[in-house]
Structure 1
Amino acid sequence: MSAISGMTGFGRADGAEGDWTWSVEARSVNGRNLEVRFRGPPGFDGLERHAKSAAQVRLSRGQVTLGVQAKRDLGVASLKVNQDILAHYLTLANQLAEEGATPPSADGLLSLRGVLEAPEEVDDAEARAAVEAAMALSIDQALDALKISRDREGSQLLPVVMDFIGRIAALVVRAETEASAQTDAIRERFARRMTELAPDAPGLEDRIFLEAASLATKADVREELDRLAAHVASAHTLLQQPPAGRKLDFLMQEFMREANTLCSKSATTALTGIGLELKAVIEQLREQVQNVE
């Protein structure tokens, strides 16, 4: 059986090009459709388009958050001192020193805002394109890691889903056995009631037979059980054809619809109990299916 994928995962990749270094993180949680949110460094406008396209290739559902944290190391030697601002700070410092304040240190002055300036970060088009291409590759690597993480979740989820489907199938078999006894139970119940109310009524036996047959027809749950069995088979088929999450979501609604009808038609306490148990298991399965891509 093909492995299904989950929708919760994490992937990370680091990279460097020239004087740039960066890290990419990709996270995803459950979602009805695929939604990609991207945050990247300014000046690299093509990365968002690439990130969304790359996510669509690898994933079909889930809320995905992609972030690129980048920094540029220009080196200490490239820093310049703004002499005008430094002179202004020195004047203020000397005035304060005359009033008894501690004279400023060189480290303190250099740490003041605006004293040290970095040169304009100007790249030629070729260098900027190389950095952006390298960042895009890291985005691909982070998404690949995210996909592996989601596949790992799916491999853990598959036996859980299969167990619930097996329990539903077993309950359907139990319901079929119990439903076969419904006609006799209805007839006996109706006959006892009619005998108590009108024991001497003419044609009582024929009337009991007709009314019991009518009630049994209304309480016939064979169609519901047949559809439940068909849904079980469909679930097995879908699990072999991932991504199956959206179709499984719809199938859960069909499962619950048949289980509700089964309970409403039930004429015995035993069958009602099976129907209620069936609904509980279907709801548990539905919760797990919410995690399937």
Structure 2
Amino acid sequence: MTGFAAARGAQGPWSWTWELRSVNGKGLDLRLRVPDWISGLEAALRARLAKALARGNVTLNLRLQAEDAGGHLRINPAHLDDVLNAIAEVEARAMARGLSLAPARPGDVLSVRGVLETAGGDEDTGALKEALCADFEEVLADFVAMRRSEGAALHALLDGHLSDIARLTDAAATAAEGRRADAAQALQDSLARVMDGAAGADPARVAQELAMIAVKAEVTEEIGRLRAHVDAARDLLASGAPVGRKLDFLTQEFNREANTLCAKAQSSALTAIGLELKVAVDQMREQVQNVE
């Protein structure tokens, strides 16, 4: 979900600079810093971003400035009167409460938006908005292309993690099969010890308890679910759609099965594989946070 794009543009007396960037995020968080005096611009840009992106913390900055086109600065009398009236009201209310305020300086008044403007600045901003929106399409296209390029690299990385998980799952299946004979012998030995030390115990009942222990140590289902999760993750990666949330959920399922595998291991070889599996799943989970 990381990406960056920047560009410059101009039309008539206006020139501008775009800067669009994104970092990882669970949802789509759009933060736009654009001139608010251009009616409808922010809403139009926000709609374009929301249509093109699904996840990430996205920041868009637009710096706009007027070039010297023979115009000159002038005071907007209506705005100036409004500002002066507001200052007078503030001072009057302050005096009524016994407060003394520092006098307003001309520079402070002129810095208020709308008081000082460029001659001709009262023109319709519709044409400027259309020019900016058209120019933004190329910026957004470059931004999406960069994210796709990084996405392709991330796809290969995730596929590698899935191959590691699949390999470790197969190794776990082999280790589980290899311990089967030892586990059966261990159960028989346990049954013999119990029967020798518990006169009058019901052999059927003891055998039932040992059978339950054996069932609890069985990892066939966990291995099957791990393989199913690997297939599901590969299908998601191949879909080409935004799958970050689904992959995030799958990594939680991977981790759950790996934990259960370790808990049921009863074998140093299977425990070692389970721990490697947990590491591979954790590495995949970190990368999944970058997926849209």
Give the drift of 1:193.
Answer: 4.8
The alignment covers a number of residue pairs equal to 252
Q: Distance in 2 between matches of 1:171 and 1:68?
A: 50
User: What is the deviation of 1:215?
Assistant: 1.9
How many angstroms does 1:131 deviate by? 0.9
Task: Identify which of 221, 230, 233 aligns with 2:231.
Answer: 233
Give the deviation of 1:217 after TM superposition.
1.1
Q: Which residue of 1 aligns with 2:137?
A: 140
What does residue range 104-115 of structure 1 map to in structure 2 within 5 Å?
A: none
- 2:26 aligned partner: 32
The aligned amino acid for 2:227 is A
Which residue does the alignment assign to 1:153?
Answer: 150
Residue equivalent to 1:289 = 288
Give the AA of the match of 1:168: I
Please name the residue that 1:57 is paired with.
Answer: 51
Shift in Å at residue 11 of structure 1? Answer: 1.1
What amino acid sits opposite 2:218 in the alignment? Answer: D
Identity of aligned residues (%): 40
Equivalent residue for 2:68, pick from 74, 96, 101: 74
Aligned mates of 1:283, 1:156 — CA distance in 2: 19
Where does the alignment leave 5 or more consecutive residues of structure 1 unmatched?
1-6, 81-112
How far, CA to CA, are the matches of 2:194 and 2:209 in structure 1?
15
The farther-off stretch of 70-79 and 42-51 is 70-79
User: Is the 2:187–2:210 Cα contact (8 Å) retained in structure 1?
Assistant: yes
**Matching residue's letter, 1:230:** A
> How many angstroms apart in 2 are the aligned matches of 1:30 and 1:59?
12
Once the 2 structures are TM-superposed, how far is the Cα of residue 209 of structure 1 from its aligned partner?
5.6
Secondary structure of 1:12's partner? strand
1:165 is the counterpart of 2:162: yes
Q: CA RMSD in A?
A: 2.7
Farther off after superposition, 16-25 or 136-145 = 136-145
Given the alignment of the two structures, is residue 181 of structure 1 paired with residue 175 of structure 2, yes or no? no
Mapped partners of 1:184, 1:214: distance in 2: 17
Residue 52 of structure 1: CA displacement?
Answer: 1.1
TM-score (normalised: structure 2):
0.77
Residue 275 (str. 1) matches residue 269 (str. 2): no
C-alpha distance after superposition, 1:252-285 (max 9, x if no partner): 1111111111112222121111111111100100
**Secondary structure at the counterpart of residue 16 of structure 2:** strand
Residue 292 of structure 1 and its aligned partner are, at CA, apart by 0.9
| CA distance in 2 between partners of 1:201 and 1:54 (Å) | 77
Tell me: higher relative CO, structure 1 or 2? Use CA pairs within 8 A at least 6 residues apart: 1
Q: What SS does the aligned partner of 1:68 have?
A: strand
Secondary structure, counterpart of 2:171 in structure 1: helix
What amino acid is the match of 2:260? T
Change (3 A) 1:118 1:233: closer
Report the equivalent of 1:265.
264
Partners of 2:212 and 2:73 in 1: how far apart?
95
User: Aligned pair in 2 of structure 1 residues 179, 203: CA closer, same or farther (>3 Å)?
Assistant: farther
3-state SS of paired residue (1:291): coil
Q: Offset at 1:203?
A: 9.5
Relative distance call for 1:78 and 1:289 in structure 2 (3 A) is: same
Task: State TM-score, norm by structure 1.
Answer: 0.77
Paired with 1:77 and 1:46, the residues of 2 have a C-alpha distance of 26
Secondary structure at the aligned position of 1:36 is classed as strand
Aligned partners of 1:15 and 1:134 also within 8 Å: no
Distance 1:182 1:46, change over 3 A: same
Q: Which residue of 1 aligns with 2:250?
A: 251
Q: Which amino acid aligns with 1:170?
A: R
* Distance across 2 between alignment mates of 1:141 and 1:12: 10
